[in-house]
Amino acid sequence: MKIGITGATGQLGRLVVNKLKEKVSSDNIVALVRSPQKASDLGVEAREADYEKPETLENALEGIETLLLISGSEVGKRTEQHQNVIDAAKKYGVRWIVYTSLLHADTSSISLAEEHRATEAALKDSGIPYTLLRNGWYTENYTGSIQGAVAGGAFIGSAGEGKISAATRADFAEAAVAVLTGEGHQGKVYELAGDEAFTLSDLAAEISRQTGKDIPYKNLPEADYAAALTSFGLPEGLAQAIAGWDVAASHDALYDDSRQLSKLIGRPTTPLSAAVADALKTV
């Protein structure tokens, strides 16, 4: 059974491929990527598969029985891109699609949810058996800002005291592998999130504890946070989106206490302290 992984050279995709190699033969794994040259270090077959070039998708999916569709990174284009993949999967007889969606995508107030809802609907309409991995926030979405927080003396955001049930990419990758190599997952919807929720104040306190410096959390109005992100070099549209996601988080849009992720991977999710310690290695 050949398993195809879209976006296999991305941050999540690479983790999935490497963990999957521990479970199944490398001969049965196919990296589906825009640039096969960038996948040369993965140790598996790589095929060109560009979400926006249906002709590459059709060739890439030949012989693939199970497909992990990792959501694209181009916000605003993903509905059409994912539809292209689903159409090609239907044409070439893919038997099962596992899709990385968003936590509580059906009800989420986060702007990202709209494209995920559209993709979930397309999967239902396709007639192909599917599984939804509704991934919560990656801890790295926040720990990636630690270096700037330490340098600036404060961790900034607009999430207030919202509870964030984040987990590391490695946790989510392990869950994807557990589903791809397990049984009884078709038709299931998994709400995946970290075991222990934290606020950005909790994160700032953990950074302070590990660095020995006073790094408080400074909550900003949405517009001010977006302006700050723009001043750091982020495109204005992305900065506004990130600030909006934080505001949604302030209303617990990223909170979930079902512990479905740890149940899938058979261990507790990576604690915040470990994620912070890992991030501080590069500071």
Largest CA distance in the chain: 57
Question: Tens place of pLDDT for every residue, the chain, 283 residues?
Answer: 899 999 999 999 999 999 999 999 999 999 999 999 999 999 999 999 998 888 898 889 999 999 999 998 888 789 999 999 999 999 999 999 999 999 999 999 999 999 999 999 999 999 999 999 999 999 999 999 999 999 999 999 999 999 999 999 999 999 999 999 999 999 999 999 999 999 999 999 999 999 999 999 999 999 999 999 999 999 999 999 999 999 999 999 999 999 999 999 999 999 999 999 999 987 6
pLDDT at 77: 86
Q: How far apart are CA 93 and CA 106, in angstroms?
A: 27
CA-CA distances (angstroms) from residue 182 to 5, 93, 267? 16, 21, 16
Give the CA distances from residue 184 to residues 1, 85, 115, 131, 264, in Å, rounded to whole numbers and listed in that order. Answer: 16, 24, 27, 10, 12
| CA-derived radius of gyration, the chain | 19
CA nearest neighbour of 163 among 103, 97, 223, 234: 103
Q: What angle do CA 175, 138, 22 make, to 5 degrees?
A: 30
The token duo for 93 is 């007889």
Domain 3-135 has CATH 3.40.225.10: no
Whose CA is closest to 164, among 269, 277, 77? 269
Helix (H) or strand (E) holding 141: helix 140-143
Tell me the residue ranges of DSSP E strands in the chain: 3-6, 29-33, 45-48, 66-69, 96-102, 130-135, 155-157, 189-192, 217-219
From-to residues of CATH 3.90.25.10 in the chain: 142-163+195-256+267-280
- 0.75 exceeded by the pTM? yes
Q: Which two tokens mark 81? A: 């891109």
- pLDDT for 283 equals 62
Burial of 53 (0-12, 13-18, 19+ CB in 10 A): middle
Contact 177, 19 (CB under 8 A): yes
Provide the pLDDT for residue 13. 97
CATH 3.40.50.720 residue ranges of the chain are 3-135
Class of domain 142-163+195-256+267-280: alpha beta
